[in-house]
Every structure is written in structure tokens, then in C-alpha cells.
Structure 1
Amino acid sequence: MFKGLGGLGDMAGMMKKAQEMQTRMAEKQEQLGTITVQGESGAGLVKATATAKGELTALYIDPTIFQPDEKEMVEDLILAAIKDAQSKASQRAQSEMQQMAEEMGLPAGMKLPF
């Protein structure tokens, strides 16, 4: 089809691949909003649920930890659970993007989005 046009045929193929990649990236970003991870602290006394995009969606606090003299400990547990959920969300998002890159034949270790 593009014979005789030199590198333009390759350019058209690259543009098509770039459009495909852009579409798949948008789909993956949408999918990351539906994947959930759970972080916890205090041996499960506090649990935070987040999407793979890092958006906090739920927080569970075991009622046995509500003692007025332990307010700071409870705050620390809540913060630790949220940070754990966000860390897991980031790892899951990175894993999902790496999987997509591999499926598209991109070099190993290539970071997405660019």
C-alpha cells in the first residue's frame, strides 16, 4: 500500500500503533478506577480500601480501639492503614500498566504513562 513512499509507510504504522496505545491507556486508566486494594494496620483493627488510582473509598475502624486516652494511637493506625492502601494502589497500578506494555510488545521496564 505504501510501497515507494520510503519511510512514510513505517510512519503510518507507527501512528496507528500510537493511537492504539492511547486508546488502551485510556481503557486501562478507567479500569484502574474499578480495581480495589485494601491496606490495614494494627493487625486489622483499621482497614482502608482504595482504588488502584489511589482514591480512598472505605475506612473500617474496629470499635474496640476507641478509648479517649489512646486518641493518638488511633490516629496513627488510621494514617498507617491509608498509607498502606495508597502504596498497594500504586503498586497495583504499576503492575497493570506493565502488563499492558508487555501485551503491546513494548520493551521490559518501560514506564507507562510516558
Structure 2
Amino acid sequence: MTDFTKILDKAKELESKMKESQKKIKEIRVEGVSGSNSVKVILDGEGEMQSIKLSEEIMKEDKTIIEDLIVAAHNSAKSQLKTKTAEEISKATGGLGIPGFKWPL
């Protein structure tokens, strides 16, 4: 019975750490850039775009180029966000891999 109690204690500890981790993830902000810093996209920890900044110089470019640079900046930010959320989850789980668990991004 003691082993079961230890397992429950560990589960409660992990749950607490995951809740704290989720709070920290919500506070994450990442910046994706493209076109030599002509386009900047800021995402929050939930993957929502918070802002987009376009330089004056880039506004002189063709519309399709601007669109491609926005997509590239967003993808860059999303990649950084995946890395940061994975790091945060790893801290909470102590490096334990949780089989089948994928963060929703």
C-alpha cells in the first residue's frame, strides 16, 4: 500500500508542477523575424499573434513578398514557441517523457 501512496504523491506533485508550468507558458512571448528584421511577429504562449510590425522599407515591396515574409516570421515565432514550451514542460516533468503527450501547438 505504501507504493501506491508514493505513486499518488508523485502524481499530485507532477500535477502541481504542470499547473505552474502552464501559467509560465501563458506568459511566454516569442518574436519571429524575417526579411532582415523587416517583418516581426509576436506570439504569446498559447500561439496567439499579439502583434505584427512591418518596416517602412518593406511596404515598398510587392504584396506577395510581404505576404511570404509575414508567413516566414510567423513560422519562426511558432518554432521558438514550441521549443520554449517543450523546455518548460521538461522542467515540470523532470525530463520525464510522457508517452503520447503533445502540446497543442
Shorter-normalised TM range: 0.7 to 0.9
Matched, 1:57 2:50: yes
- Of all paired residues, the percent bearing the same amino acid is 28
Q: How does 1:1-114 map to 2 (within 5 A)?
A: 8-67=1-60, 70-102=62-94, 107=96, 110-111=97-98, 114=101
Q: Between Structure 1 and Structure 2, how many residues are aligned? A: 101
Gaps of 5+ in 2: none
CA 1:111–1:40: 2 relative to 1, 3 Å: farther
- How far has the Cα of 1:66 moved from its partner? 1.4
Whether the 8 Å contact between 1:46 and 1:81 is mirrored in structure 2 is: yes
The Cα RMSD (Å) is: 1.9
Whether the 8 Å contact between 1:47 and 1:60 is mirrored in structure 2 is: yes
Q: 2-side partners of 1:90 and 1:12: how far apart?
A: 34
The structure with the larger Rg is 1
Q: State TM-score, norm by structure 2.
A: 0.85
- How far has the Cα of 1:101 moved from its partner? 2.4
Q: Which has the higher contact order (CA 8 A, sep 6+)?
A: 2
- How far has the Cα of 1:112 moved from its partner? 7.9
- How far has the Cα of 1:73 moved from its partner? 0.2
CA 1:60–1:111: 2 relative to 1, 3 Å: farther
